[in-house]
Structure formats: C-alpha cells, structure tokens
Copies of this chain bind each other. A is one copy, B any other.
Amino acid sequence: MTRERRVITGFSNPTVKALRALREKKHRKAAGKFLVEGLRLLTDARECGHVPEMLVLADRRDPHPLLTRLEEAVEANGGEIIETTPDILAKITGKDNPQAVAGVFAEFDTSLAALDRSSADIWLVAQALRDPGNLGTMLRTGDAIGAGGLILIDDCADPFSVEAVRASMGALFTQRIARARWDEFETWLRREEGQLVAASLRDAQPYRGAPYAAPCFVMVGNESRGLPEAYEMACDLRVTMPMKGRADSLNAAVAAAVLGYEVLHALDG
C-alpha cells in the first residue's frame, strides 16, 4: 500500500531550501547528507544496498519499472517520498533540464578506522586533489580495477559533491572512501602490511614491471603541484611513466588509471 506523499509546490518551502543547499559543501557537511540525481545513479545505489532517505519526484514524469522499484525500496526503508514540480526540481538540482528524480543520502563514514585493507589488493590514494571530476573519475577507475576504495589525503575536493558523484558513474557506491591528514594516514598505513606507491619523477623506476605487492596503495598528487617531496620519500616504491613529449606529468586521474592497471596486471598475472 502506498503511503500518503508530501506534495511541494512552493519555491520557498523549507524542504526545497534545505535540498538546494546540499549543492554547497558547508551545508552538506552540516546536514551530513548529499544529493544524487537521476534514475540511473539511484538505481546503481539501490543495487549496491544504498537506499535514499528521501526521494524527490517530478509530478510530471514517465512511468519506469526501475523508478517503481526505487520508490518501493524507499518506502520499505521508512524513507520519505516527495512530489514536486519540474521547476522546483530544476531549482534543487541547479540544472535547466533536471532528471525526473533525485535522492538524498546520509554521507558515509569516511574514517580510516572503518576501512578494511584486507578486503582488496589495490587501493587508490589522492593527495590534495582539487577537481571533483578527477575524484569521481578515480572512483570509477577504482571500481574497474577492483580496488577497495579511495583514500583522500589532506585537503581534497568533496566526494559527495554533485560533480564527483556524477563523474563516479555509480562507483561512489561500490568504493570505500576515507579522508585523512597525511600523518594520520601514514600511521594507519604502517600499522599493518601495505605497499605505498607513488607516480613520481624523483628517484623512480619504470612503472612497467616494478615489484608491486598487495595490498598496494597507489598514490597521486595535486593537479598543479604533484605530491610533496616528503610524501614521495615515504613511499615504498616510486615509479615513473614514459613521457615522450614536452609535458612532465599526466592528468592525476589518468596517472592513477595507467598505474592502477599496471598494478592489477602485476598482482593478477
């Protein structure tokens, strides 16, 4: 039996304001919630066991069996379903042509303590990564290479931003995410077995055929500055990719992927 649904038609409704605010990091942090747009991403989430606390539907929408399943999952979970106008949905998502559905999730636990390194052979690590698109792309690559998750060191973009969620193509829900300062991470890393590998130009060996070992933590640095020298020197292995042209570095998400696939091959092969 379908419960009574709340219908919102006013732009100044406090729920609309609260949802719209989730596009900003400080409000996400304060609320401990984030917004996911579109049936495809929400279905990815549901299939990974993540059901939104609140579902916002356009009152004019085409029926879709996956949308019905999503609504059922939210109701079974005791979540709330709200219907509103496409205009208000556009205001919430900040898009001119919003998808017909958005969901609100509680942010995940991103403490290192919640991360079980033995659950995967590869982990991706990003230091001071500023671009949410790069962050989402690293999550997507992590999913593809069977990584356990992404560890964000120092001041990174927000993994719960709309841009990062979108670029992750659903991998936000398959990958673990941890956030830590460098010294916290180093302490945690050295407590158990784990090999820290950096893409580096300093005292590095060729990335191809390097002695990778599981659990392998593949680290890339900030888009402009790369990794601090001290962080590179703390690595167990520094590897370098051929650079045949003028540039001396790759895009951070690209470097993580090229190196990640090499590690996958070494550990699987």
Could you list which residues of chain A lie within 8 angstroms of chain B, going by C-beta atoms?
Answer: 44, 47-48, 133, 137, 140-146, 167, 169-171, 174, 208, 241-247, 249-251, 253-254, 257-258, 261, 264-265, 268
Q: Contacts A254-B253, A265-B208 known; A245 to B146 CB distance under 8 Å? A: yes
CB-CB under 8 A from A44, the residues of chain B are: 246
Q: Whose C-beta in chain B lies nearest to the C-beta of A242?
A: B264
- Copies of this chain, count: 2
Q: Whose C-beta in chain B lies nearest to the C-beta of A122?
A: B244
- Could you tell me the distance between the alpha carbons of A32 and B101 in the complex, rounded to whole angstroms? 42
* Cross-chain contact of A145 among B133, B167, B242, B257 (Cβ < 8 A): B242
Q: Contacts A171-B245, A258-B257, A264-B242 known; A250 to B133 CB distance under 8 Å? A: no
Q: Which of A137, A140, A247, A250 has the most CB of B within 10 A?
A: A247
- Could you tell me the distance between the alpha carbons of A33 and B246 in the complex, rounded to whole angstroms? 24
**Least Cβ–Cβ distance between A77 and chain B, in angstroms:** 21
Give 9 pairs: A residue, B residue, CB < 8 Å, sorted on A: A140-B250, A142-B245, A146-B244, A169-B247, A170-B246, A171-B246, A174-B246, A251-B253, A251-B257
B170 near A137: Cβ-Cβ < 8 Å = no
- Could you tell me the distance between the alpha carbons of A47 and B174 in the complex, rounded to whole angstroms? 45
* Cross-chain contact of A143 among B48, B145, B169, B246 (Cβ < 8 A): B246
Q: Contacts A167-B251, A251-B167, A257-B254 known; A245 to B208 CB distance under 8 Å? A: no
Q: Contacts A48-B246, A171-B246, A174-B246 known; A140 to B251 CB distance under 8 Å? A: yes
